[in-house]
Amino acid sequence: MRYRYHDERQKLLAGVGIPPPEPNFRCRGTRRAGILVVIFVMGALLYLGSKVPPEYPVADESEHWKSEGWFPSPRGGTVKNWEESYRKAAELVGKMSLLEKVNITTGIGWQQGLCVGNTGPAINVGFPSLCLQDGPLGLRFADHATAWPAALTVGATWNRELAFKRGAGHGEEARLKGINILLGPSMGPLGRMPAGGRNWEGFGTDPYLQGAAAAETIKGIQSSGVIATAKHFILNEQEHFRQVLEWSESPNHAISSNADDRTMHELYLWPFADSVRAGVASVMCSYNQVNNTYACGNSKTMNGLLKDELGFQGFVQSDWFAVRDGVLSILGGLDMVMPGNVLIEDGGYTLFGANLTSAVMNSTLPVERLNEMALRIVAAWYQLGQDDKSKFPEDKPNFSSWTQKEEDFIYHGAGEGDRGIVNKYVDVQSDHWKVARQVAVEGTVLVKNEGILPLKRGSFKGKHIGIYGEDAGTEDQKGFPNFCVDRGCNKGSLGSGWGSGSVEFPHFHTPLSALKTAFNTSADDIPRFTAITNNQYTSSIVKSAKSQHLCFAFINSDAGEGYIQDPVTGVHGDRMDLYPQNGGDKLVKSVTENCENTIVVVHAVGPVILEEWIDLPGIQAVVLAHLPGQESGKALVEILFGDTNPSGKLPYTIGKSLKDYGPGAEVIYHPNALTPQQTFNEGLEIDYRYFDKHSITPRFEFGFGLSYSTFAIKSPRLTQKLPKAPFPSPRPKMLPPPSIPASPLPPFSSVLFPEGFKKVLHYIYPYVSRPSDIFRPSPIHYPPDYDRKRPLSPAGGGEGGNPSLWDVVAELEVTVRNTGDVEGAEVAQLYVGFPEVEGINFPVRVLRGFEKVFLKAGQEKKVVFEIKRRELSYWDVIAQNWRMPTEGNFTIWVGSSSRNLPVEINF
């Protein structure tokens, strides 16, 4: 979030006619009389430089990829599930003044409240300031809260119930800390590029898996009354050049992700549809551009796809400092700006606030659009029951994101003024460690086992065990367990990636400490341990490994958000490659070439290339423990010793090289144009789809994972429930949106700062400084298609899309049997292959269902898959609707991975 290029920031502001901040500048309302800088126009931003530097070849994608306009912004309150919340919201918003409506849509400024994001209140009607807090795996900056396993680890569990339980615990902790809006879960990035820095914040590289896990997480979070946020909308697939002023090579222009209509729908929009259907009350737009329009100002994606086609009823908030234009973003569907100010250094300068007040007062923006913004926010508040003061008391939140002191400035960003208690140190963890550990256990994937696992307690008395690698973790390492701000360095044992999605570990069970207490069954049954946790001590490791009966090699690979560059590895956001970091390959070879019984444990943010050592004879087992959170070591030993039978499955493919994933999988590390262009030419062929289409043998396929038992999937029985039909039912009629009685605009005097008003430094207010600020000398240039009313999408009509898309077309029953001698769980995975359709290319197969089945030895259960219309449809770009092929046969497979599919049936 922090901007590092101060000189470039000054140029950016000057380039659009905005004076740079004065020394010790204060919030002064609208900066310049006669200029309504709500229109901080993207156009000016895009043309800051006149020439592309010679070393940047001009890419022509920017001319070929243009995002169309979609106006007006659809109204909320059109589905039955939200009807009562919108009725209440209309009544409350109808009583608000214009300034109060502006206040609840505008963040009050970076560090001006106790949370990472805070809205202004509507005091006269009793609507509170809302607290928005990161993030997807815990409560960022909060004390006494659980550090959950990352979403990638949740995806590796393939367990819907666990995803819900993790979300419920996460939501409960947020509510008890006084948080209204939790900034998670993440389903963007999807993972198009395996080296993408924030892939670990999502659940895996398949849209069905991502959507299923995200939906359960949302239901869990919102079961506690906390508003969940589906993010980052949309096509935010790499960190390099994701936003302005973060990258010195392209400081003025964020990257444009360019995707065609079908790719957008079948891959990247799919999990957002699942999230909306799950009732998510907030969506966060992303930093990047989509088809050369900034995502937070893109009317096609926010108005057309999200609010119309997907029927989203909640509010759209911006990512932090992501808004490049005020008026166009609001017309394009943005409902709330975060954290309020344009750039982190700009204190009280905002595109909303006073500028939004002025835009409505001078009729640049219709008051109806402001009413709708406020309605969506208030309706979400009612929908989650946050008007219940017994659950959401007025004195919340009870922690500060900016200091660990009990008492500090009330407005930390001001650095002056009133002081008070900002931290109450409320412990909200309860027994959530149990769910956290279970997620870490089930999210651990065993990919190789030559029979060494599970280890047997009591069989290593007097034997020598070597534990090697910094990733094993040592509790006496300086900074443990919270190395570097926002976990922005690869030190110690890896429990999470870095960035705004990280948290403070309340404690961390290292693998080293857990292993040292895991082998013995009694006090006199302790092996002799040797631990070397410096990867660079190669000669010592080689010498030590020669004398061990059993060795562990711990390696990792880290990445995170683009505002951090790891001082240890040099990784800046996205990984530079897929190899283990900190000399991991060398470490493993040094161990296994001298120790014939080596177990390798990998903690990583995504796929890691294992080719240098995976087939060496000393490698007896390989365990991929992903990002396990605080329970890391405790969870690991449960798997190693068979306390729990491993049941994790890969939520991505592990190739033998980065090249195996295809040209579209490579991060753009250097700008290819003034506005970097990233075109998704591979279409639907990402991860396992690319491997399948091009007959590439992976090292370990998507969905793969070993067990200490064996399973059989057999006896398919297909029952057709509905006839095949090309299109879903006609879009159903939706409820009329609530209306707020029209009223004249207030007098100018009512929106000015009250006489004698004492301002807080850098705080963002809705007030205008003087009447002349309300007017501009020239008209606003609206989008060329602003007056063209778009037809409603036939694919819409309900939350998540046309309700007919969820009609069950067929049911497939299979039997899953545990054929081994220990209890365990198998994930039955259903894949669909489409019939041939002239002119349409399909992947070989796509995931369309999964069920995790727990079985005792010898037990069998029947599993029934409901196959819905949506899962048998592709996006027809001509009809602008989901189309089911009605000629030819679908092929349906069920198995234990994307390439182990013993059940095959035609439909």
408 bridge partner residues? 420
Active site residues: 319
Phi/psi for 374 (5° steps) reads -65, -40
CA atoms of 73 and 302, how far apart (whole Å) = 8
Please give the structure tokens belonging to residue 368: 């109806």
Coil, helix or strand at residue 118: strand
User: What one-character-per-residue DSSP string does 554-566 give?
Assistant: EEEE--B-TT-B-
Task: Please state the φ and ψ torsions of residue 532, each to the nearest 5 degrees.
Answer: -125, 110
Task: Count other Cβ atoms within 10 Å, centred on residue 520.
Answer: 15
CB atoms within 10 A of CB 878: 7
CA–chain centroid gap for 325, Å, is: 24
Q: Which residues contact 329 (CB under 8 A, 6 or more apart)?
A: 294, 296, 297, 318, 323, 337, 351
Q: How far is CA 408 from the centre of its chain?
A: 32
b/e code 488-501 from CB counts within 10 Å (16+ = b): bbbbbbbbbbbbbb
Give the separation between CA 189 and CA 451, rounded to whole angstroms. 37
Q: Are 375 and 314 in contact (CB under 8 A)?
A: no
Which residues have a Cβ under 8 Å from the Cβ of 4 and sit 6 or more positions away?
245, 246, 248, 563
Q: Are 822 and 645 in contact (CB under 8 A)?
A: yes
Neighbours of 399 (CB within 10 A): 26
Return the residue matching tokens 């920017």. Answer: 62
Contact 776, 770 (CB under 8 A): no
Q: Which of 110, 105, 111 is nearest to 130 (CA)?
A: 105
Q: Are strands 881-883 and 891-895 parallel, antiparallel or unpaired?
A: unpaired
- Pick from 423, 420, 412: nearest CA to 762: 412
Question: With the C-alpha atoms ordered 652, 658, 660, 663, is the resulting torsion angle positive or negative?
Answer: positive
